[in-house]
Structure 1
Amino acid sequence: MRTKLFFVFTILSGLTGLLTGCDSLRNEVDPSVLGAESPRLVVHGFLSPQSRVLAVRVTRSQTVVGDSVGGAVTIDDSLADEADDVVDAVVTISEGGRSVNLRYKANGLPYYSARAGELLITVGKTYTLTVQTPNGERATSSCTIPGPVGLTSIRFDSLQSGRTQRYFVRARWYDVANQTNYYQVTGAFRFIADCPECTTKPGYIEREEFSNLSFDDNSRGLLTDADGNDEMISGRAYLNGANVDTQLPFRRQYKTATVTMNLLNIEPSYYQYWTAVIRQRRTRGNPFAEPVMIPSNIQGGLGCFAGYSNSTLTLRIK
């Protein structure tokens, strides 16, 4: 018995020493010795013939070292604070002998923009973006606009989840043959709720409500035709705000209900950038996750400048 007790005591003593030793491995490091990069220009711009505005966001990157929180690069507007915006740059988009200067906060929002009519965006043409700051920073990129691919149908369906019926749609379209293609599907659900008791409330005004579709696949609506299918089908896109009790059918919940879906035929750089961003977001808060490198096609900076074409189809459910 004494031998067993001595053996257990020896193991516990060793573990205690090991855990105590871990604290000795933790040392304060002067950030200056880590060689952190200086902030760089971060540029985001996406051009489409169907867009009414030419828009480019210009910020500066944030390093991990220091008091800032987050990744090494500000990857999109949801992670960029307006305080990080570069507000004094000269931002130009050009094609051939034509060009347009974008103006900061031209429409009140924190990016450089111009009306689409000032430089028409055309399928098959290549556009060059130039960002120049007063202190000599310069970032450039280019993109070529792909042609649109039309949606063929939207299918409405549901599945049971406990006592709740969840409603979703799927988009279908035919892939462009003999080339590798990249797509993104987005959409929105618009409805007017059927609420008889609401009409008796003073000041009640019936309004159409709006919510974005929520995709359940890991790619969040991003797809490629790598598997060679002729007909392509999106993942489930759930109708937010449409989770109703099974005892009350969907059509009795709404006076009107429509789903609009967009199919974006996108450049490879657009696809590669956003798939990496999505992977990075899934690792947030996990200290053991493998770091995700965000690709960039911005020379002299970071970010993405890419082209796409959009086609739209609307399904009226009620």
Structure 2
Amino acid sequence: MKVIPVLSALLLSIYFLWGCGSLRNEVDPGALGAETAKLVVSSFLSPQDTLLTVKVARSRTVVGDSIGGLIDGDNIADATVILSEGGRSVRLRYESDGQPYYSISASQLSIVAGKTYSLSVQTTTGERATSSCTIPGPVSINTVTFDSLASGRSQRYFVRARWQDPIGLTNYYQTAGVFRFVLNCKSCAQDQPDQEEFSGLSFDDDNRGLFSDAGIDGSSMISGRAYLNGANLPTGDQPAGFFNQYKRAQATINLFSVDQAYYQYWSAVIRQRRTRGNPFAEPVLIPSNIQGGLGCFAGYNNATIVLRLK
């Protein structure tokens, strides 16, 4: 047995591994030339809104405190935020109570399909961000179907929506919804008032409810399955069958007709979330239509249908 060549190879490997450790050096963060923070603006306008809102924050640079994401200090509360259309303009006020955003009643500036709206954000330090969007027209839901799918020894119940895509136009869509229900609890006190609960509907198509009519213009379109997850009763207190589990149940389905900026922004966000922190995943750049900053200012139109199940 030739021991010397094997021993030499082992020592050579240890030498290279030792050398790799010396490649790690401390770097002064100041030498990285990190970009300055930018304004981050997000707002989505719809004719169905009762409140117009705009979120204004400041981005964090790559180099910084590792726990910076836990500090609520990025919201900007003293900016001048203006929404305008044609010759009308309104200034939004910052609401410190509850959600930190700028808002105003939709009665102060009507949101109308086909019209273009402009957004202007000016900070006290001289930063300025602008954008504009045009509100799409509505597209109605034709039908919502209720069905089930065998899953092991049980059935999973779901709803899905169908609609007709207008021909000759470039259209983008987002499906969403909510499942509202009152559980049929056999062990609950009879005099206890019914408590309505709800859960959001998550569609199982490839893009999580986002659609484009590219290549299928003018066709009949169908959403993915949105499973109705609601029954959460103690073991032994769960009636058999979907309809026996609820006193009342209904699914509200929303079909958002969205503009291109909305579609591109949320498509990128969905792709980024799929990486789940995987360091080998391809980076996803989040598009922005904010001049002088980052974020998304977009319009959508909401069509709703309610399916009463019980």
TM range (shorter): over 0.9
Q: Alpha-carbon deviations, 1:72-116, whole Å to 9, x = none?
A: xxxxxxx89642100000100000111111000076421000000
Change (3 A) 1:81 1:157: farther
Instruction: Give 1 or 2: higher helix fraction.
Output: 1
Give, in angstroms, the shift of residue 199 of structure 1: 2.2
1:141 alignment partner, SS class: strand
Size of the alignment, in residue pairs?
306
Give, in angstroms, the shift of residue 11 of structure 1: 3.9
The correspondence for 2:84, drawn from 94, 97, 113, is 94
Q: Which amino acid aligns with 2:285?
A: M
Give, in angstroms, the shift of residue 41 of structure 1: 0.5
Give, in angstroms, the shift of residue 220 of structure 1: 1.5
The correspondence for 1:279, drawn from 271, 274, 277, is 271
Matches within 5 A, 1:111-150: 111-150=101-140
Q: Which amino acid aligns with 2:40?
A: V
**Equivalent pair of 2:120/2:130 in contact (CA under 8 Å):** yes
Question: 1:314 maps to which residue?
Answer: 306
4+ runs deviating over 6 angstroms: 243-247
Q: Which amino acid aligns with 2:24?
A: R
Question: 1:75 maps to which residue?
Answer: none
1:204 alignment partner, SS class: coil
Question: 1:212 maps to which residue?
Answer: 200
Change (3 A) 1:43 1:34: same
Give, in angstroms, the shift of residue 196 of structure 1: 2.2
**Equivalent pair of 1:130/1:141 in contact (CA under 8 Å):** yes
Structure 1 gaps, min length 5: 71-78
Deviates more, 1:104-113 or 1:190-199: 104-113
TM-score, normalisation: structure 1: 0.90
**Equivalent pair of 1:41/1:60 in contact (CA under 8 Å):** yes
Question: 2:289 maps to which residue?
Answer: 297
The correspondence for 2:244, drawn from 252, 274, 284, is 252
Matches within 5 A, 1:75-224: 82-105=72-95, 108-200=98-190, 204-224=192-212
- Structure 2 CA distance for aligned equivalents of residues 80 and 223 of structure 1: 34
2:162 alignment partner, SS class: strand
Question: 1:67 maps to which residue?
Answer: 65
Structure 2 gaps, min length 5: none
**Equivalent pair of 1:167/1:242 in contact (CA under 8 Å):** no
Give, in angstroms, the shift of residue 183 of structure 1: 0.4
Change (3 A) 1:173 1:10: farther
**Equivalent pair of 1:214/1:239 in contact (CA under 8 Å):** no
Q: Does 1:45 align with 2:67?
A: no
Deviates more, 1:29-38 or 1:186-195: 29-38
TM-score, normalisation: structure 2: 0.92
Q: Alpha-carbon deviations, 1:6-58, whole Å to 9, x = none?
A: 44434433433333222222111111121111111000000000111100000
- Structure 2 CA distance for aligned equivalents of residues 114 and 269 of structure 1: 23
- Structure 1 CA distance for aligned equivalents of residues 273 and 207 of structure 2: 12
Q: Alpha-carbon deviations, 1:147-197, whole Å to 9, x = none?
A: 000001111122222333222111110011112211000000001111121
- Structure 2 CA distance for aligned equivalents of residues 113 and 144 of structure 1: 19
Q: Alpha-carbon deviations, 1:283-307, whole Å to 9, x = none?
A: 2321222221111000011000001
**Equivalent pair of 1:165/1:243 in contact (CA under 8 Å):** no
Q: Which amino acid aligns with 2:225?
A: R
1:196 alignment partner, SS class: coil
Question: 1:74 maps to which residue?
Answer: none
Deviates more, 1:57-66 or 1:227-236: 227-236
Q: Does 1:237 align with 2:226?
A: yes
- Structure 2 CA distance for aligned equivalents of residues 297 and 215 of structure 1: 27
Deviates more, 1:47-56 or 1:239-248: 239-248
2:268 alignment partner, SS class: helix
Q: Which amino acid aligns with 1:275?
A: S
- Structure 2 CA distance for aligned equivalents of residues 218 and 259 of structure 1: 22
Q: CA RMSD in A?
A: 2.2
**Equivalent pair of 1:106/1:113 in contact (CA under 8 Å):** no
Q: Does 1:31 align with 2:44?
A: no
**Equivalent pair of 2:81/2:102 in contact (CA under 8 Å):** yes
Give, in angstroms, the shift of residue 136 of structure 1: 0.4
Give, in angstroms, the shift of residue 120 of structure 1: 0.3
